[in-house]
A and B are shown apart, each in its own frame.
Chain A
Amino acid sequence: MHDRPPTRAVRLAGIVAAAAVVATLVAGTAAAQEGRTAWSQFQGGSAHDGFRDDGPAPPYRVRWSFADPSGDRLSAAIVVTEVAITVGPEAVYGVDLSDGAIAWEIQRAGGPLSVPAVGTAGGEDVLVYVDGPAPGSSDPSPTPTATASPGATDDADDEAVSELVGVTLADRTERWRVSLDAVSRSGVTIDGDMVFVGDQGGTLSAYSLADGTSRWSTTVTGRIDTPVASADDAVIVVARDAEEGRVALVAFDAATGERAWPPFEIPATSTAGSAPSVADGRVILGSADRFVRAVSAEDGTEVWTSLVLTLFSPATAPALGDGSVFAADFGGGLYRLDAADGKRMWSHQLNEVILRGAPVVSGDAVIVGLADGRLVAVDAASGHLIWQEDLTEGALGAVAISDDALIAVTGGPEAGLVALENDPEGTLVDVPSPTEFDPGTTFGRYAAAATIVFFVAFVPGIYARRRFGSGLVSEGEGDDERDDDADPGEGGGA
């Protein structure tokens, strides 16, 4: 009776096998899709988690450098297939990841540099970036095109404002162009088929990725100048009111634009703070009161706080992954915090300002760019510095991670991009944070110093005491004391 397998079992096995094949194909397609847009926006994705577990590992070597053709600066890069995309004052550039050559460029009117984003609409990759306003221009649409969305600029006033542009990435044809309410510096965030962008006037706008149709628009008090985060059907912005010195975390429903919960006011008098990141139902950000905060994405309640040494640059955002938060403060402190309760797992003080950089995680290394031009890699497990390279004279900015390269934005005289790849012949180091106490070293140095100071002070002091006397009992004064017991006031000249 056991000579042939039961028919039902065979069928079941077949179904399981077929399901496995389908699952594999779907997963492969998803992976391929993900691979095509590996680092599609600021800090990798709409949640800004800055985490890629299959990124290249240190040590690194420079693959190529790319200087802004206009001689100015570039925005942080994103990566799509084999192209790094960056925004310059005069154009948006596609840079070949293999050799750093310009693959394509799209003319741009000017305006603040902000990070573009790429999403998929109708099976096509759509690049969205902010354009203008042109320097010195009061025209809200300095480069109107035939492909501009109808009515997009009809209600624009005379103030110079930025425009949001959607471009089909394959052939760089402009799909749509819409005028924003003010100048935008926030960069672009794409979540699914929605595009989110904030502006200096405090307007948060949502558009259709496919055609630029406005989905909704709302305002907050203050300006929105850091990338908007989007995850779990919520859109999170940091609103900074410079006049009142107030910062608030504000959440909106991604579909309707209605407020998801009351604004979470950051209890700090300065507006310096990071962009938000979202993971596992929590919004993480660093603020001017030197706290990294986790706020529930569901109801806006504070989950935990963790004190660090300094405040945060608005150009940074915490990286999230592997159950941890990786935050970099302005003073150069890199911290790994437990995402569950905010408990500090390690810190590494880099002793250099982190002005334009944001930490990203590539495999087992945390990468961050410093203001002195160094790119450093810290071991995610131990917090020890394992690699560093001086890449530029200016400040190093955000890093994008592709399959086999890091692309960092550089400052200085030849500002642009630099790509790094794993260097098989390179060496790693193992340097603990300078704030890790080494008893032997410290005691030894202190003992030597104390001995030096003691003898340098005491020996001349002995000679000086012989010469001048000690305290009030100097030779002359001592004589006086012995000779004259009179009240000094009696001898006063008064």
Chain B
Amino acid sequence: MSGKKKRRSATSRPPQPREIEPAARAETPEPRRGFGGLLGGGPSILPSIPRSLGRGLLAVVTQPILLVVALVLPFLVWLALLAIGFEGSAGRLVDVLALPPIATYFDLGTGASVVGVGPAFLVFTAVSVLVRGVVYALLAGMVVEALEDGRVSRYGLLRGIAAIPVVLVVQVISFSLIIAGNLFFPILGPGIGFLAFVAALVGGLFFLGFAPTAAVRQGRGVLETIRRSGRAAQLPGTRQLLFCALYFFVALPVVVGLVPGGTQLGANPSLAAWVFILAVSVVHLAFMAALAYRWIAVEPLVPEEPVRRRVARTEPARRQASQRPRGRR
């Protein structure tokens, strides 16, 4: 085949999920396995990270509705937080649209700040998980439609609504991951415990990051969708771990550290702070779209069953080809 990317064409309307030709498939590389394969190195079977981010960003900034959502949501969240008595730094808003589990981390911190750690905290968390699940599912539907068709319509919203159960479960898993991390990682000591917690956050995004897009595109059951998200992430040569680590680095230390006003408490963020917060929200949405773009690329390669590493090590490409999914189209 040519070096150009191909995708499966639509067979019926309304708009059908499309695929991106895995970038390296034409080159038939021997994907690197194990940790090195997850982290990167060697040819990737997915579009490169810069290309993914570029496509994601393009999908967001060229769709006024997505752009408006990215700009309006942080403001609505800020008003809601103030209404329930939040006193804190507007810098927290930089992770309002972050991907889970980083967003979950944001929610937990905000909840603890507003209501403390008690029964009310669980109520706050439950509400935030629910709201965020719905919002993310709708966003996922719109983002996938923007990637597939270059537009956003009610059809994208409907596909997003169908994905709500999966995204809700992703939120719950993220919440559980952070709670478990807070309970158990301190046992490892401050240094290793912190690293383990960071690894847990990155790992959460690694395994769950594809789930919303998979739910929107394939409409499978909750568990199967999450399993497939994990399998896709573990495919050799995806550089998904690198992608997730990059996102984690951008979403927490860089973004939180650079927000104008820093940790200064206030109810009236400065113009610079708002510009930064809103720009970062667009970036978060771009990362979400980049993940969707990568899922669309890797979707045909995701095996129906868990990959057996030993077999895959010997005949990776053949196995991938033989396990190409049926996929609901």
Contact = CB atoms under 8 A, between A and B. Distances in A.
Interface of A: 289-291, 307, 309, 331-333, 347, 349, 351, 434-438, 441-442, 445-446, 448-450, 452-454, 456-458, 460-462, 464-465, 468-473, 476-477, 479-481, 484-489, 491-494
B304 interface: no
Nearest to A490: B1
Contact of A470 (B5, B150, B266): B150
A349 B265 contact: yes
Given A289-B117, A449-B271, A449-B274, A351 B265 contact: yes
A333 B87 CA distance: 10
Contact of B296 (A289, A438, A472): A472
Contacts of B82: 437
A297 to B, nearest CB: 25
Contacts of B293: 471-472
B8 to A, nearest CB: 6
Contacts of A333: 87, 265
Residue among A333, A453, A476 with the most chain B CB within 10 A? A453
Contact of A309 (B72, B113, B268): B113
B309 interface: no
Contact of A461 (B27, B62, B264, B268): B62
Contact of B7 (A351, A464, A472): A472
A396 B148 CA distance: 61
Interface of B: 1, 4-9, 18-22, 25-28, 54-55, 57-64, 67-68, 71-72, 75, 78, 82, 87-88, 113, 115-117, 146-150, 264-271, 274-275, 277-279, 282, 293, 296, 300, 317-318, 320-321, 324
Please provide the 7 A-B residue pairs with the shortest distance between their CB atoms, ordered closest to farther. Answer: A493-B28, A491-B1, A449-B274, A461-B61, A470-B150, A494-B321, A494-B317
Nearest to A493: B28
Contact of B266 (A435, A477, A493): A435
Contact of A290 (B25, B78, B116): B116
A243 B122 CA distance: 29
A309 B88 contact: yes
Residue among A454, A460, A468 with the most chain B CB within 10 A? A454
Contacts of A462: 62
B6 A486 contact: yes
B311 to A, nearest CB: 14
Contact of B274 (A450, A484, A486, A492): A450
Given A309-B87, A485-B9, A471 B264 contact: no
Contacts of B317: 493-494
Contact of B116 (A291, A445, A488, A494): A291
A291 B57 CA distance: 44
B150 A473 contact: yes
Contacts of B19: 488
A244 B67 CA distance: 51
B13 to A, nearest CB: 14
A494 B28 contact: yes
A233 B6 CA distance: 86
B58 A465 contact: yes
Contacts of B8: 485, 487-488
A377 to B, nearest CB: 19
Given A460-B61, A491-B1, A453 B282 contact: yes
A289 B75 CA distance: 30
A438 B267 contact: yes
B7 A471 contact: no
B109 to A, nearest CB: 12
B71 A454 contact: yes
A307 B112 CA distance: 10
Contacts of B54: 468
A305 to B, nearest CB: 9
25 contacts: A291-B116, A309-B87, A434-B265, A435-B87, A437-B267, A438-B267, A438-B268, A442-B269, A445-B269, A449-B271, A460-B61, A461-B58, A465-B150, A468-B54, A471-B55, A471-B148, A471-B293, A477-B20, A480-B7, A481-B7, A486-B6, A487-B300, A488-B6, A488-B22, A492-B1
Contacts of A471: 55, 58-59, 146-150, 293
A85 B139 CA distance: 65
Contacts of A448: 271, 274
A183 B81 CA distance: 47
B6 A470 contact: no
Contacts of B26: 491-493
A489 B45 CA distance: 12
B75 A450 contact: yes
Residue among A289, A449, A479 with the most chain B CB within 10 A? A449
A303 B308 CA distance: 61
B77 to A, nearest CB: 12
A378 to B, nearest CB: 15
Contacts of B78: 442
A118 B27 CA distance: 87
Given A461-B58, A461-B62, A492-B25, A307 B20 contact: no
A351 B267 CA distance: 12
Contacts of B61: 457-458, 460-461, 464
B265 A435 contact: yes
Nearest to B54: A468
Given A456-B279, A481-B18, 5 more contacts: A349-B87, A448-B271, A450-B71, A461-B58, A480-B21
Given A289-B117, A480-B5, A492-B26, A445 B270 contact: yes
Nearest to B276: A449
Contacts of B6: 480-481, 484, 486, 488, 491
A484 B270 CA distance: 52
B122 to A, nearest CB: 15
A210 B111 CA distance: 54
A372 to B, nearest CB: 13
Contacts of B9: 481, 484-485
A129 to B, nearest CB: 37
B278 A450 contact: yes
Contacts of A449: 271, 274-275, 277-278
A464 B62 contact: yes
Contacts of A488: 6-8, 19, 21-22, 25, 300
Nearest to A347: B87
A119 to B, nearest CB: 40
Contacts of A472: 7, 18, 20, 55, 147-148, 150, 293, 296
Contacts of A487: 8, 300
Nearest to B320: A494
Contacts of A434: 264-268
A307 B146 CA distance: 45
A101 B155 CA distance: 82
Nearest to A485: B9
B5 to A, nearest CB: 6
Contact of B264 (A351, A468, A470): A351
